[in-house]
Amino acid sequence: MKILFVDCLNSGNFDKWKEIIPIAPRKITGILKEEKVEFKFLTYFDFLRKRRISKDFDILMVSAMYTDLKQARNVRSLWKKYAKNKLKVIGGPISEDPKIALRRAGYDLAVVGEGEVSVRKLLEISFDMNANLKEIENLAFEKDGKIIKTERRWLKKEEIEKFKNNNRIVKNYPFYFASKIYVEVARGCSNFRRVRENCLNCNICFEGPLE
């Protein structure tokens, strides 16, 4: 089993793409690495240049936001051209609406929300779409014209800490040495759960040590 992982996150905004390196691809490729799965990681723009290598892989995995819908569709179309009908899996914020991830983006399987445990279980069954996917949490797929969503599950802190990031893929991003590399300190969208404490004006964030 050979997996091609394409990071579309923020690729809908080229200016941001050049300076932001997300955490999710490092999480998922960390699992692939730990499970000794053969894989290749590409940014969206690298994939456009190297699209023909799609034929050498068995499964496509894509990470995207809703604003990356166009890019996710582009990847799917190019994958279908070179890899034909091989499995297409999508995750990231875009999968919060399975209808968009499966029907508009055109993927076979969506990982919804926290994907570490779900991806590991999918690896255990070799991503067999004929298996009983309903037993695996945080998935969405279409069957007989209906979108099926499996049980939603949030991981405990102890579970999350068991998964190691694959930080080596950072060097696959252009200008990684001058980029903002995301560090995970909390899960979820900070736009909805902002810090409620007042600033103490301690100036540590400006003058504190970087160690």
pLDDT digits (tens, 9 = 90+) for 19-44: 788 899 999 999 999 999 999 999 99
C-beta atoms surrounding 161 within 10 Å: 9
CA separation for the pair 113, 116 (Å, rounded)? 9
pLDDT (average), residues 80-94 = 96
Averaged pLDDT score across all residues of the chain: 89
pLDDT (average), residues 154-160 = 89
pLDDT (average), residues 165-178 = 90
pLDDT of residue 211: 46
pLDDT (average), residues 102-109 = 98
Residue 71 structure tokens: 């890019």
* Choice among 6-15, 51-60, 77-86 with the minimum mean pLDDT: 6-15
- Percent of the chain at pLDDT > 90 equals 70
Phi-psi region of 127 (alpha: psi -120 to 50; beta: other; left: phi over 0): left
Contact at 8 Å (CB) between 74 and 8? no
pLDDT value at 196 more than 70: no
pLDDT digits (tens, 9 = 90+) for 113-151: 999 999 999 999 999 999 999 999 999 999 999 999 999
pLDDT value at 16 more than 90: no
pLDDT of residue 5: 98
Contact at 8 Å (CB) between 94 and 88? no
Place of tokens 């939603």: 152
Domain ranges of the chain: 2-207
CA separation for the pair 141, 157 (Å, rounded)? 27
pLDDT of residue 210: 46
